[in-house]
Each structure stands twice: as structure tokens, then as C-alpha cells.
Structure 1
Amino acid sequence: MRCKSGNLGLDEELGHFDSVIQMKPIPSIWALDHLLGALSKMNQCSTVVSMYKQMLACVGLHPEVSTLSVVINCLCRMNHSVEALNLVEEMFRRGVKPGLVTYNSLINRLCRSAQWKEATRLFKRMLDEGIAPDVVTFNTVIHALCKERRTEEALSVLELMSQRGMRLNIVTYNSLIYGMCLTDQWAEATRLFDEMVGQGVLPDIITLTILLDALFQGGMPEEAHKVVEAKVKYGMELSKITCSMLIDSYCFRGKLDKAKKVIDLMVMKDNAPDIASCYKALVNAYMKAKRIGEALRLVEELIEQGQMPDMETLKALRGLRPKIF
């Protein structure tokens, strides 16, 4: 039996399936198993489940373990976790262990439907049964635990991952950094970031966005500045919101030299949008600190960038150096 890719071929095969399961004696299960596998690859999951139920109702037709695996994967993609778990139990009753792909599909679906306890239980059972998890399995479980703020358990899974000689990838680090930020563990989040870069795993926009937002909320502008520098190093775009937040935070804490470095980064990356407001914040901070010369030089620099200071900034500086205006 062969499953064709076109709609007509699919209809023909389904019609042939109906006739085959009514034959006496029933033919080999292999042909039906092959058809279900082909339908699954075509994303015909509801059809696979329907055909499987017809097979169960057919006396003398006993689905193979491979058939059960295909059906479980389809049930997971249809978000029918309970039915999928029941089929897993059926496999155990037959004395057969589900394979890695089946475990990964089910654990992933359980995590997506917020059934964290069931997912971690299945993960532990997987280990007990001697089925070796791969990077996909570990990343799925770590992400689920971090979303639930169960960071200690996530780090335990991470340790197990390391013991098995598996290399952490961008997905692993992003999940862990997210979990640490979610639980206000800023030092651990930045340590993971440093470790990530040190291991040669390049941070992506997700990593940096998660970490920047968290560090600003946690009142850690110096650490945020390090992340901004990493964005520049890896050629990522500096958003005006990120830079504005960082400059405001430095100005508020009186760290004006660091605020100026952020403006320099913006100019270097030609990030012109709203740069005038960033200059304004630093000019006002220089004025309050009685660093008048630096305030005037900053205004000159702004003009050189092709932008004029607003009226409020001009008013604050009027009379200090009239020849500029």
C-alpha cells in the first residue's frame, strides 16, 4: 500500500483502507502501519487517529508498537495529551518502551499545555526506563521549569545535561536566563550570560532583550551597559528605548561618563532616531553637576550630528556661551 501526495491519491488510499480492514482474513498490519506513517508526515493527524480507532474495532487486527508511536505523535500535535498518555501506558503494558521521539513529542505538548508536573514525571520515567534524553528533551524540560520559576530544579536538570556531555545551546541559555530574571536572580542571570559568551554561544536578540529588561527593572545599569556593549559587538541594532533607559539610569545615579559612552555607541552605530532627547538628558545632568564646559561641548556635538537642541535645552544654556546660538 502506498500513500500518494495529492488529494486524489489520499482519497483513494482512505477508500482502500476501508476495504482492507473488512477483508477476511485481515492482511498484514505492515501495510496499514506504513499508511498511517505516511499520513502523519502529510500532517493528516485527525485521519490517522480515526483510522487507528477503526483498526481497534477490527477483530484480529493488533496495531504494532510503531503504529502506537505514530498515533501518539499525532495526538500530541492535536493537543490531545490525555489520550496520548493513555497510549503510552498501553505501550508499557505491552512491555515496550516508547522511543525518544515519542517521549519528546509528549513532553513538549505537556509543557505547552502547562501540565508541568506530568511533563517532569514523564521525564523522570524516561530516565528510569533507560531512554537517553537528547538536547531537545533537556531544553524542553528546562524551559518548562524556568517558566514555573522552579529554577533550582532547572539547574539540577542542567547539571544532568552536563554530566552526559551535552553542549548547551542558545535555547538552553535563553531559558535559564529568563528563569533567573523571572525570579530576580540578577547575578546568576549575568553569570550565565558571561558563561554563554565564554563558551562561544553567541547571544541573540531574545537573550539580550530578556536580560536588558530585567536589569533595568532590577536597577543594575552597569550590567545593562555590558549587555549593550555585547549587542554592539555582535552587530545587533541598538534601539532608542534601550539607550534612553540606560542614559536616564546613569544620569539619575550621577554616572555621567558612562551615560556619555552610551551616546557615543549610538552615534557609532548611526542610531539617529530620538538621539536629541538622549543628549538633552545628559546636558541637563551636566548642568546640575556644574560641568558647564562638558554641557556646551555636548550641545556642539549634537549640532554636528545635524540636529538642533530643543528650546528647553537652549533656555538652560542661554548666556553661558552666546556665540553658539
Structure 2
Amino acid sequence: MGQFKHVVRDPVQYGVLLESLCKGGKHEDAIATLDELLEKGTLLDPRTPALEDSAYNPMIEYLCGHGQTKKAEDLFRQLMKKGIDDRMAFNNLFRGHAKEGVPDSAFEMLNIMTRRGVATDADCYALLVESFLKKGEPADARTALDSMIEQGHLPSPPLFRSVMVALFGDGRVQTASRVMKSMIEKGVKENMDMVHKILEALLMRGHVEEALGRINLMMMNDSLPDFDGLLGALCDGGKAIEALKLVDFGLERDCDISFSSYDRVLDALYTAGKILPACSILCKIKAKGGVVDKKGCEALIKSLDEQGNTKQADILSRILAGKAPLEAKKSKKVAAHPY
């Protein structure tokens, strides 16, 4: 390419030469020409017209495909200064950075596209999310996923799953929960096993209101969690009060909870010495027509008497005997005992 400065005199011919070299498969010669253009700042010369897309796109595609995305970006940034916004070039640069394991640079390209109003592709975002995950940066992957949704793209169920799994494995349970929320809001009903893990972790860590909010969202979107599985895990983990709150939530909404789960929660409360809360939830269970273990109820009545809660013991005895059906007002009063 030593003859370049002698052969090309008209600036318009720069683009023609680059296009001709690429069409002839002489990409390395085109790169040498590009190096000289970049070094001399020829592309920024106001007297030099902007290159045509047929000249720069083959160059950018070649560079991005051969591990030289940074050089391709240097070229395109000079072109952008002359007002060029080329979607194909942007996407090639983005893919190049992502494939070379530089997701931060790829994300920067997407931000530039968004600011300039250049349409983005869903697969670009998916590639970016995967690139962050490969680098072990689940928080950044989640940010990219959020950006993908904000731009009107729907992540695939496997992509949602990959981000949730990575965040969960990194101990970021509440962040994984927020991704789960986005997934449910978008009507994605796959990955329910991962949803169950996140809900269980939230409840076990004491984030009860957040977990119940997610469950309510699921129900609004025609999806149901495994109440029995969650209650079993909470009882096994010694989280009696959390289990109580979940049962209370389920009873208020007439959710499908097995009788054995009710018994497990009552046993857990009794074992933990939470007699009044046990009485409260038992009254609600009976008011809803639920069936519980009679011996356990008798033991609960005995404990109430021993602790001086004779009024509650009497109410519970009458309910179990079918003599005093709970009225709505009384039910609320009994349930008002603190957890």
C-alpha cells in the first residue's frame, strides 16, 4: 500500500478504493489503507465527503469478525462525527465486542444507539446478557436484561432463567426476585422451579411481604405457586411465623392448601410456643371449612388454658364442637393477635 498516496488524489476515491479492495477479498490491504486514513485524520477533514456505507460496512464487518472490533469502532466513531448513524455498523460493533468478551463496550454501543434513536435488535441484547454472564457479572447481566425490556424486546424464557440462576447462585436473592417479577409481568409461565426456589429463599430470609407480593402477582397472571412445598420447607426450617403468614395469605384468597400442611404449620407453631397465633390461624382454618388433627387441637386448647388464655380456649372448644360458628367480626378480632 505504499502507492496509496500517489494513486488516490480525489477524496471521493477513498471509499471507492476501500470498497474495491473488500470486494476483491483484499481486506488486509483495505485495513492498511484504513490505518493511513485514521492516522492522518482524513475522515474528519471537512473537505472530505463521508464514506458510503458500501465502503465502510464491509470493513467494519471484517474487523469485528476477526478480533479487531476496537479498530472498527475507531473508524465508525470518526464516521459518526460526520453524522453517520448506520444500524448495520452498530450491530456489527456490538456483536464484535460481545463475542470478544468486552460486554461493557458492547453496552456502550447500545446506549449510543438508544440516544441516537437507532433501532436495536433483540438478539443483540440477548448476546450482551450472555456475555456478562460468561464474565461472571450477573448484576450487569440483569441491567442489560432490564434495558432489553425497556426497549420493547421480550427476553426468552431461557434467558430469564439464566439471569435468575446466576443471581441466585451469587446470593442475590432479592435481585433474582425482581427479575422473576419482570418475567411474570411479561406473561412467561416457564421456569416455575426457579420461581419456587426464589420464593422459598425470600420466605426463609424473612422477606415475607416481598414473597407474598410475588405470589399475588403470579395469581393475577393465572399462575400458582406450590403452597404445600413452600409451607413444608418453612416448617422444616423452623420458620413457624413465616409459615403462619403464608397460610393466612392463602386462606384469605381461598388457595388450595392441603390439610396435612395446615397440621404441619399448627405443629410448628405449637412447638415454637406460639400458642395464640396457632389459635388464631386454627379458627380461620375451621371458619373456611378446613379439617385439622383433633388431637392437636385438644393439645392446643390445653396449652391455652395452662397459659391463662381461657377465653381463647373456650372459643376454640366451641368451634371444634360445632357450637359457635365464627362470625366475620369475631374472626377478625381473634386473628388480631400479634405474630
Over alpha carbons, which structure has the higher Rg? 2
Which residue in 2 is equivalent to 1:187?
104
| 1:117 aligned residue (28, 46, 61) | 28
Q: Does 1:277 align with 2:185?
A: no
CA contact (8 A) 1:231 1:238 kept: yes
CA contact (8 A) 1:174 1:207 kept: yes
Taking structure 1 as reference, are residues 294 and 161 closer, same or farther at Cα in structure 2, changes over 3 Å only?
closer
Which residue in 2 is equivalent to 1:104?
19
**Partner secondary structure for residue 153 of structure 2:** coil
| 1:213 aligned residue (110, 113, 130) | 130
Which residue in 1 is equivalent to 2:171?
254
List aligned pairs for 1:312-323, cutoff 5 A.
312-313=229-230, 315-317=232-234, 320-321=243-244, 322=247
Identity %: 18
Taking structure 1 as reference, are residues 108 and 241 closer, same or farther at Cα in structure 2, changes over 3 Å only?
farther
CA contact (8 A) 1:174 1:206 kept: no
Which residue in 2 is equivalent to 1:138?
56
Taking structure 1 as reference, are residues 250 and 144 closer, same or farther at Cα in structure 2, changes over 3 Å only?
same
CA distance in 2, matches of 1:304, 1:234: 25
TM-score normalised according to structure 1 size: 0.56
CA distance in 2, matches of 1:179, 1:290: 44
| 1:245 aligned residue (137, 153, 162) | 162
Deviations 1:105-155 (A, max 9, x none): 651563xxxx64244246679999x99631232122122112111133223
CA distance in 2, matches of 1:265, 1:106: 48
CA contact (8 A) 1:256 1:286 kept: yes
| 2:223 aligned residue (307, 310, 323) | 307
Residue type at the aligned position of 1:178: R
- Structure 1 residue 226: Cα displacement: 2.9
CA distance in 1, matches of 2:70, 2:209: 52
Runs of 4+ with deviation above 6 angstroms: 124-128
CA contact (8 A) 1:240 1:275 kept: yes
CA distance in 2, matches of 1:99, 1:193: 29
Structure 1 gap ranges (5+): 1-91
- Structure 1 residue 312: Cα displacement: 4.8
Which residue in 1 is equivalent to 2:91?
174
CA distance in 2, matches of 1:189, 1:299: 36
CA contact (8 A) 1:263 1:279 kept: yes
CA contact (8 A) 1:103 1:126 kept: no
CA contact (8 A) 1:279 1:302 kept: no
Residue type at the aligned position of 2:74: S
Q: How many residues align?
A: 223
Which residue in 1 is equivalent to 2:66?
148
Which residue in 2 is equivalent to 1:69?
none
CA contact (8 A) 1:154 1:176 kept: yes
Taking structure 1 as reference, are residues 193 and 250 closer, same or farther at Cα in structure 2, changes over 3 Å only?
same
Which residue in 2 is equivalent to 1:28?
none
Which residue in 1 is equivalent to 2:182?
265
Which residue in 1 is equivalent to 2:253?
none
CA distance in 1, matches of 2:222, 2:188: 13
| 2:202 aligned residue (283, 286, 298) | 286
- Structure 1 residue 270: Cα displacement: 1.9
Which residue in 1 is equivalent to 2:313?
none
Which residue in 1 is equivalent to 2:267?
none
CA distance in 2, matches of 1:256, 1:185: 26
CA distance in 1, matches of 2:23, 2:127: 22
TM-score normalised according to structure 2 size: 0.54
Structure 2 gap ranges (5+): 1-6, 43-47, 251-256, 258-339
Residue type at the aligned position of 1:309: P
Which residue in 1 is equivalent to 2:149?
232
- Structure 1 residue 240: Cα displacement: 0.9
**Partner secondary structure for residue 123 of structure 2:** helix
**Partner secondary structure for residue 168 of structure 1:** coil
Taking structure 1 as reference, are residues 227 and 108 closer, same or farther at Cα in structure 2, changes over 3 Å only?
farther
CA distance in 1, matches of 2:50, 2:58: 14
CA distance in 1, matches of 2:113, 2:36: 30
- Structure 1 residue 214: Cα displacement: 0.8
Which residue in 1 is equivalent to 2:277?
none
- Structure 1 residue 309: Cα displacement: 3.1
Which residue in 2 is equivalent to 1:161?
79
